[in-house]
Amino acid sequence: MTPWQAFLNSLDPSDPGDTGTRRVNFSFFNDQRTELMAYDTNPFAPSDQERHAIWEMLVRKDVDGFVNEDWSIFANSFKYDGFCGLDAKASLDPADWEVRFPTVETYRDAWLCDARRAAATEYGEDRRKALFRATNMLDIRVEGHTATARKTFDDAIALADGGSQRLNWQSVFFCTMEDHAWKITGFVGYLPFQQTFGRESG
């Protein structure tokens, strides 16, 4: 079995993976109590430099750029030479996958199109908060100057008309360290993810 096949086999779509509730403990006068973290708190401490930086790049910059329809917030996160983004089309079978984003520019255009469509949608809640709630990325694996990050989406954003917009998939990003900063070299996006509202929201 190749390392790639082993990696695919580990992507069980029914496995909640990194969907555990993030909590932090505070002690006041010997009284222990548990509080939920702020909805946009980076789950990795600054001392965990690599994973902290990768989370900031792939979650915060992505969400903030998307909500503001501002690609410049996210643009410096990519390695433009040799980038490749695959659309898994909700399948774990590589035979079904498509090279949908052969360049960063093609991904940028699709990302901006989605951002503008979302901005024109009438939501019934704060969109930034909802996107952070739906996004989870605790599965970050760093080996030297190379890293993978598994990002899951599993929630629904309330619409103003009383309905909801479902988010349910996972993506695996490939990153490299370049000039002392992490860059995205590619990804396999829209992989199936069956966990449904498996964690509490803040």
Range of the structural domain that residue 44 is part of: 3-191
For residue 16, being part of any structural domain is answered with yes
Residues 6+ apart with CB under 8 A from 89: 96, 97, 98, 190
pLDDT in tens, 66-125: 999 999 999 999 999 999 999 999 999 999 999 999 999 999 999 999 999 999 999 999
How far is residue 17's CA from residue 73's CA, in Å, rounded to a whole number? Answer: 28
Local confidence band at 194 (pLDDT 50, 70, 90 cut-offs) = confident
pLDDT in tens, 150-162: 999 999 999 999 9
Number of domains in the chain: 1
CATH of the domain at 149: 3.10.450.50
How far is residue 198's CA from residue 196's CA, in Å, rounded to a whole number? Answer: 5
For residue 198, being part of any structural domain is answered with no
For residue 199, being part of any structural domain is answered with no
For residue 201, being part of any structural domain is answered with no
The answer to whether the beta carbons of residues 147 and 58 sit under 8 Å apart is no
For residue 67, being part of any structural domain is answered with yes
For residue 165, being part of any structural domain is answered with yes
